[in-house]
Amino acid sequence: MTVPLPPLPGPSDPGEARTSLTLAAVGGPEPLRADAARNRALLLDAASRLLDRCGAADLTMESVAAAAGVGKGTVFRRFKDRTGLLIALLDHREALLQAAFLSGPPPMGPDAPAAERLHAFGPAVMRHERDHHELILASRTDPLRTYAVPAQRLRLSHVTLLLRQARAAGDPEILAHTLLGSIDTPLVHHLTCERGMLTDQLEQSWHDLLIRHGVAC
């Protein structure tokens, strides 16, 4: 889950990109020694238990250290700061989503037509982020960082590739940014919690955007 991503596929190589996309961590590559990996797993297990019990807002480096039975400095060395800890907690959940659209069964997986995969992708990502919205929102301390992390670049590469394969109208990368922006966690949270919209409405908007650009199932 820590392989660096290739650059976005160019217009002339849509076939090659299908085999080059690989699982990507939310927070970036970080190869670990066996003992460091065990310590990281111990800390994340403690953090996960605290998250389930008290929510992301009350999750601190100090509380994780106490729950894991280690010094606070150990947690800081492993994750650097609270944001790094929150991003690490997202990695496992993100890996499951990535596996579904990179190698899973239809309609998201590679055996389905590009248009069908695109229509399935948006609602699946929206449901995934709705289930983890508190953790995602708490980790968003730098708005621009969202566009640089490997997991987001993978989503952008994936959607851009499928738009090219489906021969969507318009610039595929700009359209991919537009589509992903329409299901971004803060916007979905605002529309559903503050504006009272239904998730079904937002999913239908994803389908409508695709259809308007010539991508119909």
pLDDT, residue 27, reads 60
Asked if residue 170 belongs to a domain, the reply is yes
Class of residue 12 by CB neighbours under 10 A (exposed 0-12, middle 13-18, buried 19+) = exposed
Same-domain pairing of 97 and 153: yes
Same-domain pairing of 92 and 54: no
Asked if residue 176 belongs to a domain, the reply is yes
pTM equals: 0.73
Give tens-digit pLDDT for 65-80: 999 999 999 999 999 9
Same-domain pairing of 45 and 104: no
Average pLDDT over residues 151-162: 95
Domain housing 102: 82-217
Average pLDDT, the chain: 84
The Cβ-side half-sphere exposure at 179, using a 13 Å CA radius, reads 35
Indicate which CATH number applies to the domain containing 188. 1.10.357
Same-domain pairing of 66 and 142: no
Indicate which CATH number applies to the domain containing 37. 1.10.10
Select the more confidently predicted residue: 1 or 166. Answer: 166
pLDDT, residue 155, reads 95
